[in-house]
Structure 1
Amino acid sequence: MKRKFQISALSAKLIIGAVFFGLFMCVINSFVSYHEFKTQVESLYKNVTKQFAETAVSYVDPERIPYWLKDGSDGLWDSTNQRLNELTETAEVAFIYLTVLSSDYKSRTYVFDTVNSLVIDSKVIPLGFVQSLEHKTPDYIENLRLIMEEGKVQSYFSYSKKGGHVTTSIPVRNYMGKTVAIMSVVKPMEEIREYKTNYLRSMIFAALAFTALFIVLYTLSLFAGIIRPLMLIIDETSHFAEHHGELTGLLKKIKNRDELGLLAKSVEKMSVDMNKYISDLTAATAERERIGAELNVATKIQAEMLPRTFPPYKNCPEIELYASMSPAKEVGGDFYDFFMVDEDHFALVVADVSGKGVPAALFMVVAKTLLKDAAFTFKTPAEIFAHVNNTLCENNASGLFVTCWMAILEISTGKMTFANAGHTPPLIYKDRNISFLKTQPDLMLAAMEGMPYENHEITLGSCDRIFVYTDGVTEATNSEEQLYGEERLLKRLQLDTTKVLSPKEIIDFVRADIDEFVGGAPQFDDITMLEMLYKPTK
């Protein structure tokens, strides 16, 4: 569907900005041009009046000035005054006057004063007239001092509604080079008003015309180079968001070789990448769902492989037992097992396969099967370990190994024979004390072929307990990277409640304490626990 053109907020801002920028530049250019015009006009008037003043000085004999002020006018004064009057008329200046300043610059005495006939309401100041300067500004007095003492030419511009005038004063020097008087020429600038008006009118008109042309050309260039491509990109990105990464092809109309062109190409590439990503994600999601379903089945199969009947044997009341295994992932490498070897011998196993996930779970199945099968052929845990170890080492290219603790209990006597293949030591409750059943551990299974293993013995009395676990218990970590540890486990099991709690209650108690310690930190390792209570009937 073809989109109806609309001026976007950004486009409006760009155009309005261009208008304001053009008007601003128009004002700045007008001001700068007028200032330059004024400077040039003032420079012109300054040079002209300076030339007139120098001409006027050439008419005067500086050596006669003191005599004229003392004795009054004479023939030379009259002829000089006549020539100054003629210069005033022909040069079209308003006044020409020569004055002598007092040493303290508080007054000046007129020697010559001419007035143009066109100047109305102005009288000629006579020879010897003393004029006070005390009402003059400090700048005015400073200018007089610069003329008298430093011989500088000074020009002063005064503007009014009628145009204004310029006064240029130069020093008058005697034959010794000393400044003895000041010659001043005042020229009206009535024509400057008309010049200024005409200049400003033409300049503003030209500036406005150029500004309008600039705004039009800039707006057209802005629309073609920025606004239109930008609107096409906005349309396409909106369509991209609403139609799951699909584009209409409008971006191909953008031929810019600038950042907008790169942006258009990036949006097109993003569409291609997004569609590929969606396709890959759909396939990956389907594959993940398939794997998840298979892992759920594997979790169920693994759980069903572990004995879950408690108490295990109704016809064997001497043994009360409970066990649990919580994998860190869908499937784990920990396992436990217990079974009757014969009518008077009961075997229990707790093991931990290195690694996690599916490889460890598969190795766990093999190890569990081999251990149980070997228990019906070999009589002691050490013999069982030696056989299973050699079997596991035969085709162990993956380098996995198993830590294992196994015991065989003679039910009638309470004698328990056990072996430890690199596993954590269990805890035993005996003679009203709980302690670790520590022995020198042998090498773990599947680590090295032909390794020997050692049997150990202990006799259980009535209500003695044994608590076997994997390192996932003691190495459970909280958010502060602290381990649960053997000491905390021992303290929890030393409570007097262990005398009255069942094996299931003991395991539930320990698991609740682990969860409280860990808090919200993730579980990194499988957690397996087995508690057995021996209750002989004799």
Structure 2
Amino acid sequence: MDDEIAEDRSEGFGERLLGLLLDRARHLPPQLIAPLIAEEVGRVGGRDVSILLQDYAQELLVPLPGRKLHVSQPEPVIDSPAGRAFLSGDVVEAPLARGGVRMYLPLLDGSDTVGVMALTLDAVGEDDRRLLSRLASLVADLLVTKNAYTDQFFQARRREPMSVSAEIQWTLLPPLSMSVPQVEVAGMLEPAYRVAGDSFDYALNDNILHSAVIDAMGHGLDAATMATVAIGAYRHARRVFIGLAEKYAFMDDAISRQFGPDHFVTAQLMHINIASGEMALVNAGHPAPLLIRDGRVVRQLESATTLPVGIGGEEPRIREHTLQRGDRVLCYTDGIIEEHVAGGELFGEERLIDCVNRVGEEPPQGVRADLRRLSHMLKSERGGRTSDDATLFMIEWRGGAADHLAVLD
């Protein structure tokens, strides 16, 4: 009986604490998020609170500066407790040599991890885990919402000077990952601080995952401007519920009208029914996506040739495929395979496929983590060089249903 009363008190205390944060969130200036979070953590006995955000190269978790926050050195995404929490989406607890436990709580915006909240407790119980996990969810919502009102979070994530074209592209992107029971997606752009013409976009509308990967010709602001128009036209077409052929035609018309006949954008447009695994693909001048099954590339997803966006004007050719549960589809731009390696030869598709298979030999860690491992491996194999935009976008289809999530226990 006493245990039940203690638990009820803890739940009530947590509700009051979280309610205070919710009540103040609407009017809270961005610079006061940090001290309010530190105060709330302090009320449950926590100390040395850090908010760690992913840098744009997706290699480090960098501390957000702020009053009452503990600001330490950036932590690597790979092989650190903070990185494990970030990649797995699970709480990581690390005992400290001097006593106490350092907790790392993923900051989840839906299924996209925006960072990690770290704090130290003398001891950790179930009440602490429940309350702090809920607090981390509210902190993530605050960071995403207030990000639209400030440059503070952007400045913390930026580790080197960024080009204007890259600024445009990062503003254009959707969340870098999304996960629901039936499907998971993740994307990466390189070089993070100089990318110009590459981009990707996706949306899950009912049972259809809509996705696009594009590569605008040229470099710098010209390419970024074309990519912006292409993605804008794609989103407009997607939101009026038209098919792949109409999306292609709408994008083609927008690019040709705005930039003339000498400019174009290569693109891959896909629909995947997340209930059935049926996939429709338009490939407009892109390298063919790779189908990965059981960790290995089994084939390219070929499609009939369609002219790049902007110089098309004809009905695109749609190719249909059927995925098996657990299949992954990897889309990439030509900057991945056309990079020159030692000796002057092109990196090529064979080396890409070899890297994909090597990543697949390790136990899967989820699409986001595995794509990051692949990206880092590719960069290492290319000698750290990325002279052209290079984009990776991966989809994993799982099937099944998610209706049970809408039913309260």
CA contact (8 A) 1:332 1:361 kept: yes
Q: Shift of the alpha carbon at 1:295?
A: 5.9
Matches within 5 A, 1:312-391: 312=178, 316-327=180-191, 330-340=194-204, 342-391=205-254
Q: Does 1:515 align with 2:382?
A: no
SS of 1:504 mapped into structure 2: helix
Deviations 1:69-88 (A, max 9, x none): xxxxxxxxxxxxxxxxxxxx
CA contact (8 A) 1:484 1:514 kept: no
Q: Which residue of 2 aligns with 1:491?
A: 354
Write the distance in 1 (CA, Å) between the matches of 2:224 and 2:174: 16
CA contact (8 A) 1:295 1:331 kept: no
Number of corresponding residues: 240
CA contact (8 A) 2:198 2:389 kept: yes
SS of 1:494 mapped into structure 2: helix
Q: 1:453 to 1:498 in 2, by over 3 A?
A: farther
SS of 1:304 mapped into structure 2: helix
Matches within 5 A, 1:349-498: 349-397=212-260, 399-430=262-293, 434=297, 435-448=299-312, 450-495=313-358, 496-497=360-361
SS of 1:404 mapped into structure 2: strand
Write the distance in 1 (CA, Å) between the matches of 2:172 and 2:233: 14
Q: Shift of the alpha carbon at 1:367?
A: 0.3
Deviations 1:291-343 (A, max 9, x none): xx996455334213212252x25xx3211121011148734100011112x21
CA contact (8 A) 1:331 1:358 kept: no
SS of 2:270 mapped into structure 1: strand
2:255 is aligned with what amino acid? L
Write the distance in 2 (CA, Å) between the matches of 1:511 and 1:470: 13
CA contact (8 A) 1:416 1:460 kept: yes
CA contact (8 A) 1:401 1:446 kept: yes
Matches within 5 A, 1:168-207: none
Task: Give the gaps of 5 or more residues in structure 1.
Answer: 1-292
Write the distance in 2 (CA, Å) between the matches of 1:321 and 1:471: 20
> Which structure: greater helix fraction?
1
CA RMSD of aligned residues (A): 2.5
Deviations 1:470-519 (A, max 9, x none): 00111121242122110111122234436624222332222222222222
Q: Which residue of 1 aligns with 2:115?
A: none
Q: Scaled by the length of structure 1, what TM-score is found? A: 0.42
Q: Which residue of 2 aligns with 1:527?
A: 390
Instruction: Say which one has the larger Rg.
Output: 1
CA contact (8 A) 2:304 2:318 kept: no
SS of 2:259 mapped into structure 1: coil
Write the distance in 1 (CA, Å) between the matches of 2:295 and 2:361: 12
1:336 is aligned with what amino acid? F
Write the distance in 1 (CA, Å) between the matches of 2:281 and 2:326: 19
Matches within 5 A, 1:221-300: 296=163, 298-300=165-167
Task: Give the gaps of 5 or more residues in structure 2.
Answer: 1-159, 402-409
1:511 is aligned with what amino acid? S
Q: Shift of the alpha carbon at 1:463?
A: 0.7
Q: Does 1:303 align with 2:170?
A: yes
Q: Scaled by the length of structure 2, what TM-score is found? A: 0.54
Write the distance in 1 (CA, Å) between the matches of 2:382 and 2:363: 26
CA contact (8 A) 2:303 2:317 kept: no
Structure of higher RCO (CA pairs closer than 8 Å, 6+ residues apart) = 2
Write the distance in 2 (CA, Å) between the matches of 1:498 and 1:401: 39
1:304 is aligned with what amino acid? T
Write the distance in 1 (CA, Å) between the matches of 2:318 and 2:379: 35
Q: 1:381 to 1:499 in 2, by over 3 A?
A: farther
Percent identity of paired positions between Structure 1 and Structure 2 = 26
Write the distance in 2 (CA, Å) between the matches of 1:433 and 1:519: 24
> Which structure: greater strand fraction?
2
